[in-house]
Structure 1
Amino acid sequence: MKKKILLIILPVIILLAGIIGGGYYIVNNEINIDTIYSGIKVDELDVGGMTKKEAYDLLVSEREDKIQEQSMVLQYKDKEYNISLNKLGVKYDYDRAIKEAYEKGRNGKIHQRYKTIKDIEKNGMDIPLEYDISSIKVEDIIDEIGQDIDIEPKDAKIRITGGNIEISEEQMGQKVNKESLSKAIINNIYDLKNIEVPIDMAKPRYTKDYYKRINGIIGEYKTTFVNSSESRANNIRLSSKGLDGKILHPGESMSYNEVLGPITKGRGYKDAPVIINGSLVPGVGGGICQTSTTLYNALLLADMTITERSPHSIPINYVPKGTDAAVAEGYKDLKFRNDHDFPVYINAKVVGRSVYFQIYGDRKSKDYIVRIESKIVETIKHKIKENLDPKAKPGSRELIQDGRDGYKTKTYKYKIKNGKIIETKQISSDYYRERDAIYKIGPRVSTKPKPEPKPEPKPTKPTKPEQPEKPVEPKEPEDNSGSQNNKDTDND
């Protein structure tokens, strides 16, 4: 009985031992191995049965030269740019491909892995060898192409001479569409087809049609400087020239001081009278306030927006009170803005001893006129002060400082259309300070008669002579001297 049982069990044991032994062999010799499984290729190169290092060495030896040899062509009209993959910073991603090849069949349970391994061995598997590309090098190449192909657009130009308006044609430009070209290059790494360089047309900002809206004078003003010195006349000419031809586009602002720049002798300006503390004294740039004042009035008549303006500290003689515009570097400025929907052109010129400013714009849009009116609302009479100088000649009276009346003004702007006022606006309220007249006076002259001399007495016994009375000293009046603390400086 025992023999019979043994005969039954023994074959089963042998069968189990075979199964276990076979499984152990498969696990150790076909599954748990440190090489890439058979049937796996990378970029059509068989790496089955190789270690990672062996596969890496094979790929580098067979594919690295390919990068040096391959290139793509970028075309634009008759221009061609042959760009090698090496110049684009292209590199094969060997490590990623080898890692993917090695991991095939190594995930899941033993029986699942074994099935995958056998399927790969039977049917094969080819893993692509992908590229890495340097985005920085691609951008550099596109920049180089752009420098060769790009054409900057040219704005139309306008110039007004002697009342003649001349406008040149604008020119279209072109630019490489860098974003589109970059995508095309990256996507073409595998195909290496010829690429047509994408171009965007670049429009100029200012066209001839745009400048055609400057079609006539919308405001003009002139002042004269007949009695000015040649130095002052030079400064007016120089400052006017610095403003001639300036253009303000809709919404743009301008600063008189910024446009002219530093007022120095090195830039051609000369000494001429300027107003400091209410008095005229020599200074560099005297006269440029007449330029700014003339421009200011032209701007008002052109209905431009004045954002900063200051009156002189004393009245000036070339415009009505309340319509002047003083400037002083770093202190007083004339600033203005173009709130029209069309560009304006500043035309400045000096003819003889007159300075002219003409503001050109769209006369169809500005279909009204502007009138400026300044009113003196108060006159402040100056005071007279006398300062006693004990050393001066008795009874003398000498003028030391001229007196000047002060004024308060209000200036109004009227818009007139078809002979009717359509808008009234007060644009300024100014105060021109008065200045005291100051005299230096000597001591008062005494009106008391001198005492008659007494006859000398006949000699007798020596007696003590009588002491004559001392004359009464005149009392000094109060010292009311002084001047206004006026820090104003104007380049009159």
Structure 2
Amino acid sequence: MKKSIIILLSISIILVATILGAGIYVYKNILNINTIYKGVKIDGYSVENKTKEQALEFIKKTKEAEIQEKYMNLLYGGKIYKINLKQIGFSYEYDSAVSHAFTLGREGNFIKRLRDIKKLKTGLDIPLKSFYSEDKIENISKNISREINIEPIDAKINFNKGKITVTDHTVGKKVVLEDLVTLIDKNIYELKDIEIPVKDIVPNLTKEFLSRINGVIGEYSTSFKGSSKGRIENIRLSAEAISNKLILPGQEFSYNNTTGPRTQESGYKEANVIIGGELTPGLGGGVCQTSTTMYNALLLADLTIIERSPHSIPARYVPYGQDAAVSYGYLDLKFRNDFDFPIYTYSKITGNQIYIYIYGDINTKNYQVKINPQIVETIQPKTETIYDGKLSPGEKINIQKGRTGYKVNTYKTIMKNGKVVSKKQITTDHYRKKDYIYKIGPYLPANSNN
């Protein structure tokens, strides 16, 4: 009996010792190791039996080498832009993946841990989370755009002695930046070749468009014979200012804005101007003849007149109803190009004549315009007398010359192939009369017989 107890006790001691030994072994060689457990991979690469530091160094070195070899091709016009993933700041969250790998089999009580460690041996792959810089993608796209982008260049009109030539235009190129950024962003994991999205930028003024200016659609001239040197210079300056102007469809033109203030600094001279119905010396006298000549050319070209004013007295160089008075900041001549083609203005002075031409598409404006003013009322001046005792008896002095007034309706007629297409009244002008004023002396005494 005593011997049996000793045997059982010995067996128990051996069993306890074995269990303790096994526990110590498990703890020391399995549960308390500082390496990643068997079966753990990161993005397909085994990191088992590696410390965190070793695993981090290994996976980072391996994946960074892969990144260096990965690139995409951006293609345009036979040129290839190679974009390496490193250029866009592409990388992985190595630290978090390694930390995750190291925690596997290290959570919970020892039984759970042993089960987890055993299960890991069948294999577990931790995916790497990637990241990249959207700002770098945008900067790369902008740099490529700067190389590809071409500014469009308008065609230009050259006018020489009435002959018009038009230079070629240049179609611009522009990378669609937003689309390129999106294409790169979506291609990071596929790395296919990308056709860089580029759109053509057609300039506003193409050769075909400007070539529609192919002839004169309206012209007019007036004479300034007998004008003073100052007035002639003012006509020349204003005519030069409005010449060689391109007016696009829908665009408005202001005579005052184009010629500018009538100042000595601008070169304008003193000459007679109409103020309050009277001719008075002032800067810029004569610019109204230029505006009037232009107005008539515009009417004949059938352009839309937005603003026009008559003089207070009829101009001597055009029929009544066909003048256009201007005064900077007060009266202007404005028109708008309502055609679907551009127009071009040109003026010249030859001898005592100013000529203004409106060029456009003679194929579209293939009709004639006639301007017909009609005097509908003639207003005769009255005579006013003022008694002046200082004058001799019967003496009569004219102190204000009279002037006949007129009411004028002006009509525009459209003719095509010799037939009237339309006729309409375009203006009603009133030129003010001016009364005669005389001073008279005392009445002569009646003859008497003594």
Normalised TM-score (structure 2) = 0.75
* Structure 2 residue 42 is the aligned partner of structure 1 residue 41: yes
Q: Deviations over 1:302-329 (max 9, x none)?
A: 1111121111122111111111111222
**CA distance in 1 between partners of 2:128 and 2:257 (Å):** 65
* Correspondence 1:215-294 to 2 at 5 A: 215-294=214-293
Partner SS, residue 329 of structure 1:
coil
Give the aligned partner of residue 21 of structure 2: none
Q: 1:202 to 1:127 in 2, by over 3 A?
A: same
Partner SS, residue 213 of structure 1:
coil
Q: 1:368 to 1:394 in 2, by over 3 A?
A: same
Q: 1:435 to 1:99 in 2, by over 3 A?
A: farther
TM-fit CA distance, 1:63: 7.0
* Correspondence 1:43-122 to 2 at 5 A: 44=45, 46=47, 76=76, 90=89, 92=91, 94=93, 122=122
**Higher mean C-alpha displacement, 375-384 vs 201-210:** 201-210
Give the aligned partner of residue 7 of structure 1: none
**CA distance in 2 between partners of 1:256 and 1:374 (Å):** 23
Q: 1:321 to 1:100 in 2, by over 3 A?
A: farther
* Structure 2 residue 303 is the aligned partner of structure 1 residue 304: yes
**CA distance in 2 between partners of 1:83 and 1:233 (Å):** 69
* Correspondence 1:143-222 to 2 at 5 A: 143-190=142-189, 197-222=196-221
**Higher mean C-alpha displacement, 223-232 vs 395-404:** 395-404
**CA distance in 2 between partners of 1:404 and 1:272 (Å):** 22
The one-letter code sitting in structure 1 at the alignment partner of 2:122 is K
Give the aligned partner of residue 123 of structure 1: 123
* Correspondence 1:239-388 to 2 at 5 A: 239-386=238-385
Partner SS, residue 258 of structure 1:
helix
Question: 1:223, 1:355 within 8 Å by CA — same for their partners in 2?
Answer: yes
Give the aligned partner of residue 22 of structure 1: none
**Higher mean C-alpha displacement, 200-209 vs 92-101:** 92-101
- Unpaired runs of 5+ in structure 1? 1-28, 450-492
Q: Percent identity?
A: 44
Question: 1:67, 1:90 within 8 Å by CA — same for their partners in 2?
Answer: no
Question: 1:323, 1:374 within 8 Å by CA — same for their partners in 2?
Answer: yes
TM-fit CA distance, 1:301: 0.9
The one-letter code sitting in structure 2 at the alignment partner of 1:127 is P
TM-fit CA distance, 1:374: 0.6
**Higher mean C-alpha displacement, 424-433 vs 75-84:** 75-84
TM-fit CA distance, 1:414: 0.6
Question: 1:41, 1:48 within 8 Å by CA — same for their partners in 2?
Answer: no
> How many residue pairs align between the two structures?
411
TM-fit CA distance, 1:428: 0.5
The one-letter code sitting in structure 2 at the alignment partner of 1:130 is S
Question: 1:59, 1:94 within 8 Å by CA — same for their partners in 2?
Answer: no
Partner SS, residue 151 of structure 1:
coil
Give the aligned partner of residue 409 of structure 1: 408
**CA distance in 1 between partners of 2:223 and 2:214 (Å):** 27
TM-fit CA distance, 1:158: 2.4
Q: Deviations over 1:276-297 (max 9, x none)?
A: 2222223222211111111111
Question: 1:105, 1:114 within 8 Å by CA — same for their partners in 2?
Answer: no
* Structure 2 residue 425 is the aligned partner of structure 1 residue 426: yes
TM-fit CA distance, 1:226: 0.9
**Higher mean C-alpha displacement, 423-432 vs 279-288:** 279-288
Question: 1:322, 1:409 within 8 Å by CA — same for their partners in 2?
Answer: yes
Question: 1:101, 1:127 within 8 Å by CA — same for their partners in 2?
Answer: no
* Correspondence 1:3-42 to 2 at 5 A: 39=40, 41=42
**CA distance in 2 between partners of 1:191 and 1:126 (Å):** 21
**CA distance in 2 between partners of 1:118 and 1:355 (Å):** 106
Q: 1:419 to 1:77 in 2, by over 3 A?
A: closer
**CA distance in 1 between partners of 2:261 and 2:252 (Å):** 19
The one-letter code sitting in structure 2 at the alignment partner of 1:179 is E
Question: 1:42, 1:129 within 8 Å by CA — same for their partners in 2?
Answer: no
**Higher mean C-alpha displacement, 345-354 vs 196-205:** 196-205
TM-fit CA distance, 1:353: 1.7
Partner SS, residue 179 of structure 1:
helix
Partner SS, residue 242 of structure 1:
helix
TM-fit CA distance, 1:139: 3.5
Q: 1:332 to 1:144 in 2, by over 3 A?
A: farther
Partner SS, residue 266 of structure 1:
coil
Q: 1:92 to 1:317 in 2, by over 3 A?
A: same
TM-fit CA distance, 1:231: 1.7
**CA distance in 2 between partners of 1:269 and 1:141 (Å):** 56
What is the CA RMSD across the aligned residues, in angstroms? 4.4
The one-letter code sitting in structure 2 at the alignment partner of 1:41 is I
**Higher mean C-alpha displacement, 380-389 vs 344-353:** 380-389
Normalised TM-score (structure 1) = 0.69
**CA distance in 2 between partners of 1:249 and 1:159 (Å):** 16
Partner SS, residue 267 of structure 1:
coil
**CA distance in 1 between partners of 2:36 and 2:388 (Å):** 118
Question: 2:254, 2:333 within 8 Å by CA — same for their partners in 1?
Answer: yes
TM-fit CA distance, 1:256: 1.8
Partner SS, residue 373 of structure 1:
strand
Question: 2:97, 2:126 within 8 Å by CA — same for their partners in 1?
Answer: no
TM-fit CA distance, 1:448: 11
Partner SS, residue 291 of structure 1:
helix
**CA distance in 2 between partners of 1:118 and 1:335 (Å):** 93
TM-fit CA distance, 1:372: 0.4
**Higher mean C-alpha displacement, 262-271 vs 216-225:** 262-271
TM-fit CA distance, 1:246: 1.7
Question: 2:292, 2:323 within 8 Å by CA — same for their partners in 1?
Answer: yes
**CA distance in 2 between partners of 1:201 and 1:114 (Å):** 67
Question: 2:45, 2:59 within 8 Å by CA — same for their partners in 1?
Answer: no
**CA distance in 1 between partners of 2:289 and 2:302 (Å):** 20
TM-fit CA distance, 1:421: 1.4
Partner SS, residue 183 of structure 2:
helix
